[in-house]
Chains A and B, each alone.
Chain A
Amino acid sequence: MPLLGRRHRLRAIIVTGLRREFKRPATLVATAVGVGLVLVSSIVIVLFLGAFLPGQTRDLSFFFVPASNGAILFFVTLMASVVGSALIADDLNSMALTLYLSRPITHADYLIAKAAILAPLISMIAMLPLVLTPFVAALLGLFAWTIALEAIGLSVLLGLLFTAFYTSVTLLLSSLTTRKSYAAAGVFAVTFGLTIPADILASSIGNSALLYVSPWEDYLALARAAFGASGNQLDWPWALAILLVATVVASLFTYLRMKAVEVVSG
């Protein structure tokens, strides 16, 4: 029987995965509310600042504000925990992993496919609103198109990085347990367990270096640097390094973890 190649096999996993996700009410709600809220709030903020505070210079640094929208953090975390936590945990729980790995795909293929299910959903919150906001703002004539296009470009990059970080960390957590609820809790812990204590400690002790621990602060530092906004307490190269390294290490650990799972047991 003639067999199609790797791309088709991966596509089958991705498409089926996405289709199954979108049958779940939780995913639909999280996506709709997340994208909607973030988009609306970003646009409203920009309009508000742009239209009603005439003292502001209408330059690139404006677009730092929608990028720093806390709703992004919240809804990305929500999406990662609703969708992402089950992606590998369920396969470990049911041991369907055995079926996947007995197929002509590699461990890496499996992970790439799973990542490709989660990443688009996360990027709909982390990237899409940030891309649409300057577009809408320019359409309404509030900003010049050159600025808007630059903002769009930077938003894509920031969004990609943020998405990559959350995708790989969520998949790592999902691969460590058979219970998706634990993985989901883990995602929340990474977000709020790192962000909030880091913020509190940094201000109370006065050591802003603690802020590097919080992925959100790292992201904000990058965004500030990208959009040219002021007030950066962190060096953006370090922030970038931290996020990149974390992403790569998480991916690597996930791969090693998958390879270690015994799918043929004695």
Chain B
Amino acid sequence: MFGEVRAVDDLSVAIPEGAIGLVGPNGAGKTTFLRLLLGLVRPTTGTAKVLGHNIAEGVPVRERIGYMPEHDCLIPDMTGVGLVTYMGRVSGLDANTAISRAHDVLQFVGVEEERYRKIAEYSTGMKQKVKLAQAMVHDPQLYIFDEPTTGLDPRGRTEMLDLVRVIARSPGRNVVLSSHLLPDVETICKYIVILDGGHQIAAGELSQLLTGSADRLRIDVRGDREAFARRLLEAGMEADATPSGVHVARKPGVEAAIFQTAKALGVEVRYMGREIRSLEEFFLELVQRNEARGA
């Protein structure tokens, strides 16, 4: 466990090591939660500990945290390496270590000669990388990423998510990824905390939360979907044609039946696989249920 928050806004959360996704609608308490983790607010009631330190202490907790904010926050008239070095020193690194680490992390995130230019001249992608670099320079144990792919084009998004993934997989490092882009969270995090209305409404390993039915298949059919489903029904299978594909129950012989039917009707099977719910579907369902209950 690296974090344990109890009864704040009636929020009780226990967070294991590794990569955690923090998800929730606006106003759910994500922001407050992050502020708590950073020791920037104190809980009105209850206690919270991060990495073994009570958050009321603020400073010792922040020594071990690297925060990558969502909004613009860089100093425009400093150079990339200048800013990262500076932030390293403000975190407590001595001058030589700071500059050495700054170059190392800038290399890691992919900022090459641009590091000597002023940040005001950087593209959005470069700026995001510098934001990540300043969060890493003091080698924290806990990283907090707040919407790390904002404003990035597809290539930039892939690069950034790859970097986050590498960090998340490093031993002894923990990552809290807060994002509205649930498929991103799905690919990086193993554990999810879902907040709504100041409460935690779900938490757990993704693989467990999202097991839809291991015993159902989703098939992507090119051709007459309805006819395909009908034929399968006739063959004694349970089949259901929906906009996202044809869903069938896994029974012995169902795969053979699928291909037989496809051959007979002349339709193509473009995808056949487990019907796993996506995090997005799970999340939306959960929030709606929560609203119905509370509101």
Write the residues of chain A forming the contact surface with B, with a CB cutoff of 8 angstroms.
1, 3-5, 8-9, 12-13, 16, 20, 90-91, 94-106, 263-266
Q: How many residues of B contact A (CB 8 A)?
A: 39
Task: Give the residue of B31, B62, B92 whose beta carbon is less than 8 angstroms from that of A8.
Answer: B92
User: Contact between B31 and A98 (Cβ–Cβ < 8 Å)?
Assistant: no
User: Contact between A1 and B73 (Cβ–Cβ < 8 Å)?
Assistant: no
Chain B residues closer than 8 Å to A91, beta-carbon distance: 75
Chain A residues closer than 8 Å to B75, beta-carbon distance: 90-91, 94, 96
User: Contact between B92 and A266 (Cβ–Cβ < 8 Å)?
Assistant: no
Chain B residues closer than 8 Å to A90, beta-carbon distance: 75
B267 contacts A by Cβ under 8 Å: no
User: Contact between B138 and A3 (Cβ–Cβ < 8 Å)?
Assistant: yes
Q: How far is the CA of A3 from the CA of B93 in the complex (A)?
A: 5
User: Contact between A266 and B138 (Cβ–Cβ < 8 Å)?
Assistant: no
Q: Which residue of B lies closest to A10 (CB)?
A: B90
- Looking at the complex, which of B33-41, B166-174, B242-250, B268-276 is the stretch in contact with chain A? B33-41
CB contact under 8 A between A96 and B62, given known A1-B138, A1-B139, A103-B90: no
User: Contact between B91 and A96 (Cβ–Cβ < 8 Å)?
Assistant: no
Shortest C-beta distance, B5 to chain A (Å), equals: 15
Chain B residues closer than 8 Å to A9, beta-carbon distance: 89-92
11 extra interface residue pairs, beta carbon distance < 8 Å, beyond A265-B31, A266-B30: A8-B89, A12-B86, A12-B89, A90-B75, A91-B75, A95-B69, A98-B71, A99-B134, A105-B59, A105-B90, A266-B26
User: Contact between A3 and B27 (Cβ–Cβ < 8 Å)?
Assistant: no
User: Contact between B69 and A98 (Cβ–Cβ < 8 Å)?
Assistant: yes
Chain B residues closer than 8 Å to A16, beta-carbon distance: 86, 89
CB contact under 8 A between A3 and B72, given known A264-B31, A266-B27, A266-B30: no
Q: How far is the CA of A99 from the CA of B72 in the complex (A)?
A: 10
**Residue of A1, A9, A95, A97 most packed against chain B (CB within 10 A):** A1
> Per-position contact with A for B33-62: 1 when CB-CB < 8 Å, else 0?
011001010000000000000000011101
B158 contacts A by Cβ under 8 Å: no
User: Contact between B73 and A104 (Cβ–Cβ < 8 Å)?
Assistant: no
B211 contacts A by Cβ under 8 Å: no
CB contact under 8 A between A104 and B71, given known A3-B138, A263-B40, A266-B27: no
Which 6 residue pairs spanning A and B have beta carbons closest together? Answer: A3-B92, A12-B89, A266-B31, A102-B67, A104-B63, A104-B62
Q: How far is the CA of A101 from the CA of B41 in the complex (A)?
A: 12
Q: How far is the CA of A97 from the CA of B73 in the complex (A)?
A: 7
Chain A residues closer than 8 Å to B62, beta-carbon distance: 102-105
User: Contact between A94 and B74 (Cβ–Cβ < 8 Å)?
Assistant: yes
CB contact under 8 A between A95 and B71, given known A3-B138, A4-B94, A263-B40: yes
Q: How far is the CA of A94 from the CA of B67 in the complex (A)?
A: 16
Shortest C-beta distance, B206 to chain A (Å), equals: 24
Q: How far is the CA of A100 from the CA of B87 in the complex (A)?
A: 8
Q: Which residue of B lies closest to A101 (CB)?
A: B40
Shortest C-beta distance, A19 to chain B (Å), equals: 10
Q: Which residue of A lies closest to B61 (CB)?
A: A104
Chain A residues closer than 8 Å to B26, beta-carbon distance: 266
B238 contacts A by Cβ under 8 Å: no
B196 contacts A by Cβ under 8 Å: no
CB contact under 8 A between A1 and B97, given known A100-B90, A104-B91, A264-B34: yes
Q: Which residue of B lies closest to A93 (CB)?
A: B76
B114 contacts A by Cβ under 8 Å: no
Chain B residues closer than 8 Å to A95, beta-carbon distance: 69, 71-73
User: Contact between A3 and B91 (Cβ–Cβ < 8 Å)?
Assistant: yes
Q: How far is the CA of A94 from the CA of B83 in the complex (A)?
A: 13
Chain A residues closer than 8 Å to B77, beta-carbon distance: 20
User: Contact between A264 and B38 (Cβ–Cβ < 8 Å)?
Assistant: yes
Shortest C-beta distance, A20 to chain B (Å), equals: 8
B102 contacts A by Cβ under 8 Å: no
Sample 21 A-B pairs with CB under 8 A, ordered by A number.
Answer: A3-B92, A3-B93, A3-B138, A4-B93, A5-B92, A8-B92, A8-B94, A9-B89, A9-B91, A12-B89, A13-B90, A91-B75, A95-B73, A96-B73, A102-B67, A103-B91, A104-B91, A105-B59, A106-B58, A263-B69, A266-B27
B9 contacts A by Cβ under 8 Å: no
Chain A residues closer than 8 Å to B69, beta-carbon distance: 95, 98-99, 102, 263-264
Q: Which residue of A lies closest to B75 (CB)?
A: A96
Chain A residues closer than 8 Å to B17, beta-carbon distance: none
Q: How far is the CA of A106 from the CA of B60 in the complex (A)?
A: 11
CB contact under 8 A between A265 and B71, given known A12-B86, A101-B40: yes
Q: How far is the CA of A4 from the CA of B91 in the complex (A)?
A: 8
Q: How far is the CA of A102 from the CA of B34 in the complex (A)?
A: 11
Shortest C-beta distance, B35 to chain A (Å), equals: 5
Q: How far is the CA of A12 from the CA of B76 in the complex (A)?
A: 18
Shortest C-beta distance, B10 to chain A (Å), equals: 18
Shortest C-beta distance, A88 to chain B (Å), equals: 13
Shortest C-beta distance, A176 to chain B (Å), equals: 20
Chain B residues closer than 8 Å to A1, beta-carbon distance: 93, 97, 138-139
